[in-house]
Structure 1
């Protein structure tokens, strides 16, 4: 959800849970994806929210500065801060980790001038009003499906260069060492809303940050997949260069999304030892470990593409020394990714969990996207799929989101609802579930 969308109805907690005080907020509940800057008046509620940390997403030109501003005002800095609980009635100001990204709903606003293909906009030819109009029509005609007419194109903003956006984002990330790239991704189902009318402007909620859909009817126009991939790839490469986590939106395009990521990590896949090699190592190294955590940590700091090598180093039992963390070495892909409000199949989960994948993939879930269908029948179907996916995803790869657009009680409410759902499916107590998700969050943010 982004851009002031509020398609999700308030989903009630089960009757037995309403009004209960048993949720362990004091253990540090985390919201790994939300959009409170869509309603800036709600930001005043942040310090008294029970959620300990919120990762807030930027999506388009109108909210990049807002996310940065809120991130500075309510900056969350380190693991130690998680020990300070945020419970009802208290005031905790260090709550926000910002994420800067260009959402697939709005990527048509960007033109690719990075030299990775034929540009759809020539800035040099846009020095006059006539030239600017011609270049604008050229760009939108190229990146939108069902060629739009001149009137619709005129209602759209002047395109912004991808290079300038990436430079701005690089500067924002430099100012916050924990900041993420997000919300980015691929959405093959989204359609652009109709142009604003004067009457629409008069009726709109002035508290909403401009630039969103705000319930307008939808046109037949979508953004060409190739353009979505180009903009996403550029943002993923930036995350890989700077070693930042990414929050990814994927709707009806999970295969294309996987292929895009895989194209970036090609040549960096982890080497999977043969059975013979594993046996040889095991015989000579009693404390040899191939756990995901240790393997992922080592891959994040390696020098480059992996090459097959039959040589096996036999590690003899020796006193363990605490090793100093090496400086991050840039790669063409991000070290950690969350599939936000994951809606893919079990097969997609299995693809991302293959041991050779060099990216640590997490899966986020929200009530609004994962459990709210347009009908009771659809909701039941979604819940059945949701249960299957939660059971399949490893305990240490689950993240929980509100994906809500206003800070305050509702955001806490949706977060608690999803925590309860996941804990019930996993067979966790609430205390164990909150503790596990917090641990996952730390791995996702800090690495």
Structure 2
């Protein structure tokens, strides 16, 4: 598989016209470039992720201006969860808050660099408002990251209004401190797992209430994420064929005299989990895919892949792709600037997946497009 620097778009225009969709990207990090880039991009639609408090409005504005090209996703990324407090009342001070949610406990000199935290409840109000505004909005990017360390500067990671061209930037993951060259810029401080989970669960509640799909970030947390969702699925597992047959046979001998009441009970609140889940730039083991895609799982779980993140996994990536069911695959750029680099990244991952799956290019693009439409809209043929 090619690396980031070698990516190129050599797909025929006829292939792009079939509909290639970016399942996860961050072009509002360079908002001024977005409108101009959309005029030349062949990507059918961009699923644009919000990640922190200040970019929710950018994702909203971009969607309003370009409704035919953008599907919005609103959420709070685990890298920034330390900026939220989860208590009902505000903390005594920002120092007490950060000492409670960061490990190891930072010195006061570092804490002075950090801003005043904002309440999680106030963010959930913003999230809910945006979900209600946009009929097909997702919740994301949300999740758990056990490896991320805060920058020594205490600043947010952002590409806001970068002056670089769209070929000059690194990936959003790499610049955030996931490459060895960035090690000196990172502090030893991490957000506690408990705090990340609290913020994640609050957002999953919104996704469940409105039955919206979610885009989930998971680094060194694949087992934890599965455990979290399994807890939400409890009591909603789809019975096996044998169980369904047994239940059908038992029902033959049951006389139900309260059908109206039964129908009323069946039409209760929505289940406490999102209906569709995308594990973005999936980096977990191949054998865990069977857990997520078991027919007992009451949600549809998709796996998206990017050149930016997944190219580093070598042969393991081939094994993972082979293990993912054909109808649960998605492609993404995970890039922060709309433009030719984003398109090249998407083209390369499409070609690679088609190679691994043994698909003809046209066949693969049609499958991937159908998967994206089903993930976003919940139906097979909607565009």
Instruction: State the TM-score, normalizing by the size of structure 2.
Output: 0.84
**Structure 2 residue runs without a partner (length 5+):** 165-174, 254-265, 379-383
The reply to whether residue 337 of structure 1 matches residue 337 of structure 2 is no
Which structure has more relative contact order (CA 8 Å, sep 6+)? It is: 2
Alpha-carbon shift at residue 64 of structure 1 (Å): 1.0
| Map of 1:429 onto structure 2 | 360
Q: Give the Cα separation in 1 of the matches to 2:250 and 2:95.
A: 57
Does the alignment pair 1:347 with 2:273?
Answer: no
Residues 20 and 366 of structure 1, relative CA distance in 2, 3 Å threshold: closer
Secondary structure at the counterpart of residue 97 of structure 2: helix
- Tell me the equivalent position of 2:5: 10
216, 229, 233: which one pairs with 2:201? 233
2:116 aligned partner:
158
Q: 5 Å matches for 1:313-324?
A: none
Written as runs of structure 1 = structure 2, the 5 A alignment for 1:41-80 is 41-43=32-34, 44-75=36-67
Q: 1:19 Cα shift? A: 4.5
Asked if the contact 2:310–2:317 (Cα under 8 Å) also holds between the matched residues in 1, the reply is yes
Q: How many angstroms apart in 1 are the aligned matches of 2:276 and 2:47?
A: 15
Alpha-carbon distance in structure 2 between the residues aligned to 1:19 and 1:358 = 39
Match of 2:335 in 1: 404
**How far apart are the structure 2 equivalents of 1:25 and 1:102?**
31
Name the CA shift for 1:19/1:235 in 2 (closer, same or farther; >3 Å). closer
Which of the two has higher C-alpha Rg?
1
Asked whether 1:370 is paired with 2:362, we answer no
User: Which residue does 1:265 correspond to in 2?
Assistant: 233
TM-superposed deviation, 1:331 = 2.0
Secondary structure, counterpart of 1:141 in structure 2 = helix
Match of 2:369 among 413, 428, 438: 438
Does the 8 A contact of 1:28 with 1:51 survive in 2? yes
In the TM superposition, residue 330 of structure 1 has moved relative to its aligned partner by 2.1
Pair 1:31-2:26 in alignment: no
Give the match's secondary structure for 2:241.
Answer: coil
Change in 2 beyond 3 A, CA 1:157/1:328: farther
2:100 to 142, 157, 161: 142
Give the direction of change, closer, same or farther, for the CA distance of 1:312–1:349 in structure 2 (3 Å limit).
Answer: farther
TM-score normalised by length of structure 1: 0.72
The alignment partner of 2:301 has SS state of: strand
| Structure 1 residue 269: Cα displacement | 1.1
- Shift, 1:22, TM fit: 6.5
CA distance in 1, matches of 2:23, 2:267: 26
Q: Distance in 2 between matches of 1:95 and 1:268?
A: 35
Q: d(CA) in 2 for partners of 1:349 and 1:213?
A: 27
In the aligned structure 2, how far is the partner of 1:70 from the partner of 1:24?
A: 26
Distance 1:362 1:11 in 2: 27
Aligned with residue 109 of structure 1, among 70, 83, 99: 83
Per the alignment, in what secondary structure is the counterpart of residue 177 of structure 1? coil
Change in Cα spacing, 1:345 to 1:196, as seen in structure 2 (3 Å) is closer
What is the aligned length? Answer: 346
Query: How many angstroms does 1:95 deviate by?
Result: 0.3
How far has the Cα of 1:310 moved from its partner? 4.1
Question: Aligned pair in 2 of structure 1 residues 206, 339: CA closer, same or farther (>3 Å)?
Answer: closer
1:393 matched residue in structure 2: 324
